[in-house]
Structure 1
Amino acid sequence: MGNPVIETKIRDFSIEDFLPIVPRELDLGEPARPKAGNLVKVVTGMRRSGKSYRLFQEMESLLASGVARDRVCYFNFEDDRLGRITPATGDEVLEAFYSSHPGAVDDGAYLFFDELQEMDGWGAWLRRIVDTTKATIYVSGSSSKMLSTEIATEFRGRALDFELLPYSFREFVVSRGLLEPGDVRRARDHDKRDRLVLSNAMRDYLEQGGFPAVAGLPAPQRIALLQSYVQRVVSRDVVERHDVARPRVASTLARRALGSNGKRMSIRKVENDLRSLGMPTSRELLGDLMGYFEDAYLLFRMREFSVSMSERTTSVPKVYAVDPGLAVASAGANVSDEGQRLEESVYLELRRRNVGFRRDGISSYHTREHGYEVDFVVGDVLEDAAYELYQVTASMDDAATARRETRALWELMSEQDLAEGYIIVGDGERRDYERGGRIIHQIPAWQWFLDVPA
């Protein structure tokens, strides 16, 4: 007799229960025809960032293209009723599906496995299914380890990975009905009223963030929900998964790291601070925990642009939360850090726009001559080549701020022999600065986020 929980989950699933689906801009490419040995498409990201709905979006597209419903199987492994999840659980899922839909064996199935990392030994199990099943397979997971370690071991080039972050600003305004899906107008083509609405929406985005479930919640409820997200990631994806012996240290470090959003965070200083609070720890443990936080997509660390690997290991990285709303929920009382959240949001957008690019290809930079800091250099560390330069600032109205932001770009553009640089400004107008055949483009933040790169 089959597992009644599994049979019920498969029988009762209906895509209609999740409509309407806000379309995500993460392109998974054309679906392959089902066959054994197909590449697996893996969508990873933090819990509650919308991975399930991105799978639903793919399913909806398949059904609209004429794929029969009885060839599509969706199963979410994050369910306490399942108990300990093993490869045998996965086999039961497929047995229950094919028993109800035997035609999918010969016609080929489209299999969607949500939060598959909950299964012990999921990598070897999935490899077996890929090799023996006529199927096209999509997987989601809440740990980047699904990409770096386990997939590299089990699949060796037989999986494509896709990183899904919470809503971008464009997705944020679409989800709120301020833009239609697929609206690709250049930002400068919007009329005066639209510009005002979208500029205000940019401020809302920096305050509320892009986790889908927070939309429309009053501030206290939004903050409580986002704090619960952090607690669940720390408890499930860090403490439990990595058997961390000091959960209080993990929780405190997570709050400290997210509260350092957009700033450099010294592990040595954190170690001293925690010891003074009566929490003995070590730099080794804190370093491991920061790596676990990154694996769970709670935050990212960005280092200095350098060709010297030894320099990179000793520099103090900047910390960016995975979402500006998460940073607000983790900040101390009376902390106003909109400038840091704008910088963080630009970093996240650069990750979205550079899919497949080596992650350390986004870094900060200090000029050689005067040590001026440029917020973001998008380039290749190993080749010592800078491709795009970005400064981020709340406003350029103050003459001293304008001089500081532009001088760093002028100097780095000269060092790298680049013709263009960009300043993304929270509050200001579009304008250009020119000097010696080089140009700096100043772009209002809401326009930069909405403009689709050519």
Structure 2
Amino acid sequence: MANPVIAEKLASFNIEDFQPIVKRDLDLGAPLVPKAGNLVKVVTGMRRSGKSYRLFQEMERLHQSGISWNRICYFNFEDDRLGSITSSVGDEVLETFFAAHPEALREGSYLFFDELQEMHGWGAWLRRVVDSVKATIYVSGSSSKMLSSEIATEFRGRALDFELLPYSFREFVRSYNVIDSGRIGIGNRTGDDYSLEERLALQQAMKDYLTIGGFPAVQGLPIPQRIALLQSYAQRVVLRDVVERHNIARPRVASALARRALGSNGKQLSLRKVENDLRSVGLSTSRELLGDLLGYFEDAYLLFRVRELSMSLSERTTSLPKIYAIDPGLAAAVSSAATREDGQRLEEAVYLELRRRNIGLRRDGIASFHTREHAYEIDFVVGDALESETYELYQVTASMDDEMTVKRETRALWEMMSERDLNEGIIIVGDGAERDYEHNGSVIHQIPAWKWFLRG
């Protein structure tokens, strides 16, 4: 007899219950024709960043292309009614679905497994399904239990992983078109011909985005509820994805470091100083533990570390990495009011957008850089030394409202462009007009933040 919980979950699933589905820009590629041995497409990211809805989007796409719903199976393994989830639960999901829809077994099925990491031994089970079932398979999972390194180990070149971050600014605008169609009418626009009304609306939307952030569930919430929900997200990652998973014996140290790191959003973080500060308030720790915790936070997508670029493969930098939170709204909610600087959150949002636009770059593909002559800092240098790519240079600033600011923000770009024989740089400005600066045949493009983000 079929497990009644499994049967009920399969029978009751209706895509209409999850409408509206905000279109996400993460491209999963063309759907594969169902067959045994197919590549598995795995969507990873921090909890509550919208992985399930990205699967729903793909399911809608399949249905609109002519695939019957009877050939599409969706199952979420994060359900306490299932008890301890083993491979036998997964087997029963497939048996129940194929019993109800035998045509899916004959013609080939499209299987969507949500939060599969809840299954003990998920890798071995999924490999068996891949080898034995005529199917196209999509999987989502919490990044802390389904890391890119673990996917590579489990599938040895038979899976593609896709990183989903919270809403980009483009998706943020699009979500409000869905929620409130009267607010901004250009969520899917690609041109630059904006009216004055649209420009003013988008400038305000950019400010809202840096405060609210891109987690789908917080959109439209009153401020106290939004802050409380975002704080609970951070706490859940620390406690469940770090402390519990890695058996951390000092959970208070982990929580304190997370608050400190997120409060350092857009800045360098000295573990030596953190260690001394924690010891001064009675929390015994070590730099080794703090370093391990930062790595666990990064694995769980709570934050990212950006290191200084080495222009030569033989060079090693000893500078401290800069910390960027997973989302500007989460950083604002967790940090104290004194550290909520617009410039830092804009810089963080730019980093996250560069990460979205440069899928597949190596670890240091997005880095900071200091020029050799005057040690001026470039916020972001994007490129791959091993691929001999031309580097893209980005400065980020809240405003360009006077000549001193212009000089300060452009001098690092001019110096690096001269040192590295580059002829183009970009300044992304929170509050400022679009303009170009030219010097000795090189050009720096100044672009308002809202416009740069929307260009995608």
TM superposition score category, shorter chain reference:
over 0.9
Residue 376 of structure 2 corresponds to residue 372 of structure 1? yes
Residue 287 of structure 2 corresponds to residue 277 of structure 1? no
1:319-377 deviation line (CA, Å, top 9, x unaligned):
00011000100111343311000000000000111112224200000001110000000
Cα distance in 1 for partners of 2:396, 2:338 equals 23
Match of 1:157 in 2: 157
1:211-266 deviation line (CA, Å, top 9, x unaligned):
11111111111000000111111122111122212111111111111111000001
Cα distance in 1 for partners of 2:328, 2:367 equals 19
- Which 10-residue stretch deviates more, 246-255 or 342-351? 246-255
Counterpart of 2:90 in structure 1: which amino acid?
Answer: G
Residue 427 of structure 2 corresponds to residue 418 of structure 1? no
- Which 10-residue stretch deviates more, 319-328 or 75-84? 75-84
Cα distance in 2 for partners of 1:206, 1:249 equals 28
Cα distance in 2 for partners of 1:66, 1:303 equals 47
Cα distance in 2 for partners of 1:321, 1:257 equals 8
Cα distance in 2 for partners of 1:185, 1:144 equals 38
Residue 21 of structure 2 corresponds to residue 21 of structure 1? yes
Match of 1:52 in 2: 52
Of 216, 223, 230, which residue of structure 1 is paired with 2:220? 216
Report 1:18-97 matches (<5 A).
18-97=18-97
TM-score (norm: length of structure 1) = 0.96
1:153-206 deviation line (CA, Å, top 9, x unaligned):
1211111111111110011111111245532223xx101110000011000000
1:65-92 deviation line (CA, Å, top 9, x unaligned):
1111111111111112222222222112
Cα distance in 1 for partners of 2:314, 2:83 equals 46
SS at match of 1:48: coil
SS at match of 1:252: helix
State whether residues 306 and 312 of structure 1, in contact with CA within 8 Å, keep that contact through their aligned partners in structure 2.
yes
State whether residues 374 and 409 of structure 1, in contact with CA within 8 Å, keep that contact through their aligned partners in structure 2.
yes
SS at match of 1:411: helix
Match of 2:323 in 1: 319
State whether residues 377 and 386 of structure 1, in contact with CA within 8 Å, keep that contact through their aligned partners in structure 2.
no
- Which 10-residue stretch deviates more, 60-69 or 300-309? 300-309
Residue 260 of structure 2 corresponds to residue 256 of structure 1? yes
Match of 2:447 in 1: 443
- Which 10-residue stretch deviates more, 156-165 or 173-182? 173-182
User: How large is the Cα RMSD of the aligned pairs?
Assistant: 1.6
- Which 10-residue stretch deviates more, 146-155 or 272-281? 146-155
Match of 1:120 in 2: 120
Cα distance in 2 for partners of 1:273, 1:99 equals 61
- Which 10-residue stretch deviates more, 306-315 or 416-425? 306-315
Counterpart of 2:291 in structure 1: which amino acid?
Answer: G
Sequence identity, in percent?
A: 73
Gaps of 5+ in 2: 178-183
State whether residues 37 and 131 of structure 1, in contact with CA within 8 Å, keep that contact through their aligned partners in structure 2.
yes
Report 1:117-196 matches (<5 A).
117-143=117-143, 146-177=146-177, 178-180=184-186, 182-186=188-192, 189-196=193-200
Match of 2:110 in 1: 110
1:10-33 deviation line (CA, Å, top 9, x unaligned):
111111101121100111111111
Gaps of 5+ in 1: none
State whether residues 386 and 416 of structure 1, in contact with CA within 8 Å, keep that contact through their aligned partners in structure 2.
no
Residue 405 of structure 2 corresponds to residue 401 of structure 1? yes
State whether residues 109 and 136 of structure 1, in contact with CA within 8 Å, keep that contact through their aligned partners in structure 2.
yes
SS at match of 1:31: coil
State whether residues 115 and 140 of structure 2, in contact with CA within 8 Å, keep that contact through their aligned partners in structure 1.
yes
Cα distance in 1 for partners of 2:145, 2:217 equals 25
The 3 A distance-change label for structure 1 pair 66 and 382 is closer
SS at match of 2:451: helix
Counterpart of 1:250 in structure 2: which amino acid?
Answer: A
Cα distance in 2 for partners of 1:248, 1:336 equals 24
Q: 1:384 deviation in Å?
A: 7.3
Match of 1:328 in 2: 332
State whether residues 305 and 381 of structure 1, in contact with CA within 8 Å, keep that contact through their aligned partners in structure 2.
no
SS at match of 2:174: helix
Q: 1:399 deviation in Å?
A: 2.2
Cα distance in 2 for partners of 1:249, 1:239 equals 10
State whether residues 361 and 380 of structure 1, in contact with CA within 8 Å, keep that contact through their aligned partners in structure 2.
yes
State whether residues 308 and 317 of structure 2, in contact with CA within 8 Å, keep that contact through their aligned partners in structure 1.
no
TM-score (norm: length of structure 2) = 0.95
- Which 10-residue stretch deviates more, 43-52 or 309-318? 309-318
State whether residues 307 and 383 of structure 1, in contact with CA within 8 Å, keep that contact through their aligned partners in structure 2.
no
Residue 366 of structure 2 corresponds to residue 362 of structure 1? yes
SS at match of 2:447: strand
Counterpart of 1:44 in structure 2: which amino acid?
Answer: T
Cα distance in 2 for partners of 1:37, 1:293 equals 34
Counterpart of 2:58 in structure 1: which amino acid?
Answer: E
The 3 A distance-change label for structure 1 pair 141 and 309 is farther
Cα distance in 1 for partners of 2:84, 2:312 equals 45
Match of 2:3 in 1: 3
